[in-house]
Structure 1
Amino acid sequence: MAEPLKPLSDQRMVITGATSGIGLATARRAAGAGAEVLLAARNDQALDEAVVSIRNKGGRAYSVALDVADEGAAAEIAAKAIAEFGGFDTWVNDAAVALYAPLEEVTLAEHRRVFDVGYFGLVQGSLEAVKHLKGRAGALINLGSVLSNRSIPLQGPYCAMKAAVMNFTDALRMELEEDGSPMQVTLIKPSAIDTPYPEHARNKLSKPARLPQPIYDVELVAKAICFAAEHRRRQLIVGGGGLALTTLAPAFPRLADKAMEVAGGEFSQTSDVPPSPGTNDNLFEPRADGRTESNQQPITRQTSLFLEAQMHPFAAAATIGGLAVLAGAAAAIGGVSWLNQRRHDIGTRDAERRLRAAGMAAE
């Protein structure tokens, strides 16, 4: 049996992309549970504000300002974690950048930048984490996406990058398992999540960008990440809306193509709400930061039964089993009642037939 991971309250956690969205929500949740957190991102002012906010609530937080795409960035993050709290137990790779545009309008430099941050930055961070955690029960948590399995139009580079993240993470996990390492590697695949992602992305569309429905609350992803820091899971998908993209879509690729052409067109990925001042286009440079949610106030789903079932499969199975037993019992009771009624009806009809044959049927 694999060695258990530490309780979150005893952990030291590194989080990249920690000044907005999923990264910031995770830092706040982990610190609230008692973990020491090291926030890494490009925006020093937003980092300072996040650290102060966490400390004001009694949490323990530190920060390091850098670009994860730079060579040696991961080693610098690890050195900072060692200097501030003696090392780390969980490393979360969340940093990413994106753009909305038809692929014909994406330059090679833009395409490379998406991969430099979201893929090569994650690779660098993952391998640095392995250096420190391979011999013990620590956790590496990489942020993929439901788009790792199924591309959507107008976000081609991001989808390609997340597919690379998924396959890299799977390969790394298998190699560590083959070496007998107690280290846990988890891939988190969020569905569409309400974060500043559409505001931060470079946008070449005719209107402000947005995410298509269904959209889930950012706290669900933070919850999944913090859960994975304590419990061994190979993968967690956040949001039942992503289930079809990760299972049905790969099984029926042509049908999925047509569905995504309709559901993922420009109409469903654009909005009339412009980005907040100073937030748009952080592809190459940091922009205004510090929010976990977008400024668009979309309808968001606050719960995900599918996520709960993955986190607590035995409880989910017991619940489903219990419901099945109740349904079976109800069906059995109904069946007996129906059978008795049917028997009564048959007997009644037979008796009436005999009475009529004897000339004794009631008038």
Structure 2
Amino acid sequence: MQVPIMSSAPDWRADFPGLAPGWSYLDSAATAQKPKVVIDAIARAYGEEYATVHRGVYARSATMTERYEAARERVATFINAARPSECVFVRGATEAINLVAESWGNANVGAGDHILLTTLEHHSNIVPWQLLAARVGAKIDVAPLTADHQIDVDALENLIGERTKLVAVAHVSNVLGGVADVTRIAKAAHAVGAKLLVDGCQAAPRLAIDVQALDADFYVFSAHKLYGPTGIGVLWARGDVLNGMQPWQGGGSMIEEVGFEGSTWAPAPGRFEAGTPHIVGAVTLAIAIDYVENIGLDVIDHHERALAAQARDELRAMNSLTLYGPDGGRGIVSFAMEGVHPHDIATILDEEQVAIRAGHHCCQPLMKYLDVPATARASFGVYSGAEDVEKLVNGLKRVQRIFG
């Protein structure tokens, strides 16, 4: 049964200056448009409010330092971290995963150990582990998917063994929209002493994240998918794990004391934030979090799921279209049209002012698993509405007419 679509969506669309009239932006899984409150906050932070942090003794620097650390506190509240010091600001989820692979991985994964991934992972949750495995002589195992394209947790549990050191999974698939059973996976990983890293890029914009309830050891996400700025993201790690990790970059701010004979490191999270941080990114990420929480993540999730369900229902009725992923996926609909390359689909839809993503979506192993070179992907945001689904369907009908 189709879930009713929230009637207030047009009001949310009005919050986003980047959405031109008549333009259907269906690429939110790649990056979300920015609400005016975030854009205005960025302008102020680079303008009359701008100063460096952690160094100046003058008033504006002190104020910006307070705002920067207040943003860390806001992130901690958003994901229910035990304390703000568990939250590290990074350039994005990709850097966060690389940080864990370099700092925690080099110290805790050795020759003959296993790293367990899943078939649907983004390249950013594959390549850093491949680099680690190559450095230390570890092995990578891959859990398969179920018939409806969700992580096969039974198979994943069977792959976990005494040599498993890390399990890394996407909370929400960026291609298929399915939601991982993180708590069950965490229990299986911890049963053998392994750690669990969760890629939360697609979850953070639409699901209430409670890292303590999920029982993960690492959780990462990027601001730009959460209606915030680019170039900023978050690594959360359990306090005991984070405090035991060595820095992976050296420079200013991350040190306690420096001498030519040696240096000592600042406590976490500072030891992982070398150099001048993305000050404006951090303080305006907090604004983006306020924006989504003022609407309500449950409201956003309900709205996007309803749109995805409507789109799947209408696309399923079209000849020559194949849908991927489970019904009930989170705001993401991936599909292929027989005899038409996804890039051609996207090009024709662009002529109809419908923006979708076409390609492998940084998930080439998943494309191989699905036995396709690429898919077309429509992904919804808080600003999407029923009219966007209608334009998508009408555009695809035009594609069918053009290609016969």
Q: TM-score, normalised by structure 1?
A: 0.34
Structure whose CA Rg is larger: 1
Q: Which has the higher helix share?
A: 1
Q: Which has the higher contact order (CA 8 A, sep 6+)?
A: 2
